[in-house]
């Protein structure tokens, strides 16, 4: 998860969360000038266990009066029932729209009054939350968080208001070539799987969600046994330990999660063209990838960085944009989920040049598989990936996000200290072997949204 470099970003929060919290986030950012944390701070992670057995990872820093909480529960949108896709997303938009004896206006008013940022977010495999607060307001912030998790109201007015906002977003996505291409690609790659569903749901599925569905999702998914927590900032272990029980202690001991089957992406070549009158065609391509716990994931991550994940330094960028002027941007990435893993990428190009673009992509993927990276490319990739890693820890929010990702991927509390050594240990033999095993130019699934000229199965097969 922490190394996914994902561009295939379906995980959009409910629209209400964005507008409501921009002012709060901006106020905190300006007040503290985007609080910086050194790499040394980032590596000093303390495991804190509450009296009730709830664990959190803490990075303590008292230089600023600011506390960041992030937490996640396994489940996410993969737990949406059949015909109710978008349920987790709707819950994420509503869980803090009133809780306990506080209706929506009172709850949200209190957050804004104290400049508390409280966000919830549904991803494919996790349901996540984030709290940022000034130390002086932390007691009230933690109280509001506890209420939202344990006593969400789901009153009729906010339910219909947030539902309407979600539906507006869905209607907009139906006209978005990027989203159409991405979902079409996933539907071909893992047909019938929960990952092929629209994360935000469809108009019909969101309209079908009832108040009971919202309460049932919270009761099934939000629990202590699937909980991951990271805390960064002006708080110590002695205060945090009992606080964990106060916030999370009343959650059910165990989640009741539906089984999610593992999926192996279909084998290509597959070509899917979705006609749309747009000046540039949107292309998504890819095939099966590697799970995050695969021993070859780190070498594969380096291979992808060289191929298409390294932005301006990648082979795809050099060949597709710089040499041929086929596109402004081209990329590839590894996208490991809990129950499926993908290698994928994307590009936008003129309809008349789609065939040439796909051929160039395939040539570069094939060349990487056949020859692997050069010694110079490997050294350059290592230098960049190691040197840029501290940038993931230059704010409290980034640190907390990284810690949740590491927990979710089961990488261990020492991963931050070990990661760069793992990168450095990769040999040229490793990356060449992994490139050969991972990449298959003749096995691509390709979806195109637009009116591509002269594109046929031959472009995909050849």
pLDDT, position 28: 44
Rounded distance between C-alpha atoms, residue 253 and residue 250, angstroms: 8
Is 435 in contact with 373 (CB distance < 8 Å)? yes
What was the pLDDT predicted at 15? 36
CA atoms within 13 Å, Cβ hemisphere of 260:
24
- Does the predicted TM-score (pTM) go above 0.75? yes
In this predicted structure, what is the pLDDT of residue 459?
A: 56
User: How far apart, in whole angstroms, are the C-alpha atoms of residue 123 and residue 13?
Assistant: 9
Beta strands in 217-264 (DSSP E): 227-233
The pLDDT value recorded for residue 462 is 54
Q: How far is CA 267 from CA 287, 342, 430, in A?
A: 7, 12, 25
Spatial neighbors of 158 by CB under 8 A, at least 6 apart, are 94, 97, 98, 104
Of 315, 318, 290, the C-alpha closest to 439 is 290
Model pLDDT, residue 313 = 87
**Alpha carbons 65 and 384: distance in angstroms, whole number:** 33
Give the list of residues 6+ apart from residue 56 with CB closer than 8 angstroms, or none.
Answer: 47, 48, 50, 229, 230, 231, 240, 244
Would you say the C-alpha torsion 363, 366, 371, 372 has a positive or negative sign? positive
Per CATH, 15-248 and 270-461 having the same topology is answered yes
CA–CA distance, 458 with 442 (Å, rounded to integer): 11
Q: Which CATH superfamily is domain 270-461 in?
A: Metalloenzyme, LuxS/M16 peptidase-like (3.30.830.10)
pLDDT, mean of each 10-residue run, the chain (462 residues): 35 37 41 41 82 97 96 97 97 97 97 97 97 97 98 97 98 96 96 95 98 98 97 97 98 96 94 95 97 97 95 91 92 97 97 95 97 97 96 93 96 95 98 98 96 74 56
Cα separation, 25 vs 30, in Å, equals 9
Measured distance CA(379)–CA(92) in Å, rounded: 43
Domain ranges in the chain are: 15-248, 270-461
Q: Per CATH, is 15-248 categorized as 3.30.830.10?
A: yes
């Amino acid at each position: 998860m922490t190394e996914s470099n994902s561009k295939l970003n379906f995980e959009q929060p409910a629209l209400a969360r964005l507008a409501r919290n921009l002012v709060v986030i901006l106020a905190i950012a300006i007040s503290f000038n985007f609080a910086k944390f050194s790499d040394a701070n980032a590596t000093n992670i303390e495991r804190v266990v509450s009296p009730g057995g709830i664990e959190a990872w803490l990075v303590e820093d008292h230089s600023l009066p600011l506390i960041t909480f992030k937490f996640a529960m396994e489940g996410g949108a993969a737990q949406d029932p059949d015909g109710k896709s978008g349920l987790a997303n709707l819950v994420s938009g509503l869980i803090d729209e009133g809780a306990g004896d506080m209706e929506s206006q009172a709850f949200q008013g209190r957050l804004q009054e104290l400049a508390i940022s409280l966000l919830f977010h549904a991803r494919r495999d996790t349901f996540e939350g984030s709290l940022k607060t000034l130390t002086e307001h932390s007691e009230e912030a933690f109280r509001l968080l506890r209420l939202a998790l344990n006593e969400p109201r789901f009153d009729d007015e906010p339910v219909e208001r947030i539902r309407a906002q979600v539906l507006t977003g869905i209607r907009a996505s139906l006209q978005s070539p990027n989203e159409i291409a991405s979902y079409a690609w996933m539907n071909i790659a893992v047909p019938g799987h929960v990952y092929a569903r629209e994360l935000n749901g469809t108009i019909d599925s969101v309209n079908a969600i009832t108040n009971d569905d919202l309460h049932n999702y919270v009761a099934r998914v939000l629990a202590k046994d699937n909980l991951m927590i990271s805390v960064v900032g002006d708080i110590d272990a002695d205060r945090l330990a009992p606080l964990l029980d106060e916030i999370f202690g009343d959650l059910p001991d165990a989640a009741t999660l539906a089984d999610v089957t593992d999926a192996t992406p279909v084998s290509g070549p597959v070509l899917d063209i979705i006609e749309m009158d747009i000046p540039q065609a949107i292309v998504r391509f890819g095939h099966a990838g590697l799970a995050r716990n695969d021993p070859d994931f780190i070498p594969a991550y380096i291979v992808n960085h060289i191929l298409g994940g390294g932005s301006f330094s990648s082979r795809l960028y050099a060949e597709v944009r710089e040499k041929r002027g086929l596109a402004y941007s081209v990329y590839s990435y590894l996208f490991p989920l809990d129950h499926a893993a993908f290698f994928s990428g994307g590009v936008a190009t003129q309809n008349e040049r789609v065939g040439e673009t796909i051929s160039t992509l395939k040539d570069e993927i094939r060349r990487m598989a056949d020859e692997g990276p050069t010694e110079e490319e490997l050294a350059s990739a290592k230098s960049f990936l190691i040197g840029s890693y501290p940038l993931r820890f230059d704010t409290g929010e980034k640190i907390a996000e990284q810690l949740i990702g590491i927990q979710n991927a089961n990488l261990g509390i020492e991963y931050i200290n070990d990661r760069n050594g793992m990168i450095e240990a990769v040999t040229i033999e490793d990356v060449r072997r992994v490139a050969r095993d991972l990449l298959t130019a003749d096995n691509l699934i390709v979806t195109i949204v637009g009116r591509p000229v002269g594109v046929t199965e031959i472009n995909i097969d050849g």
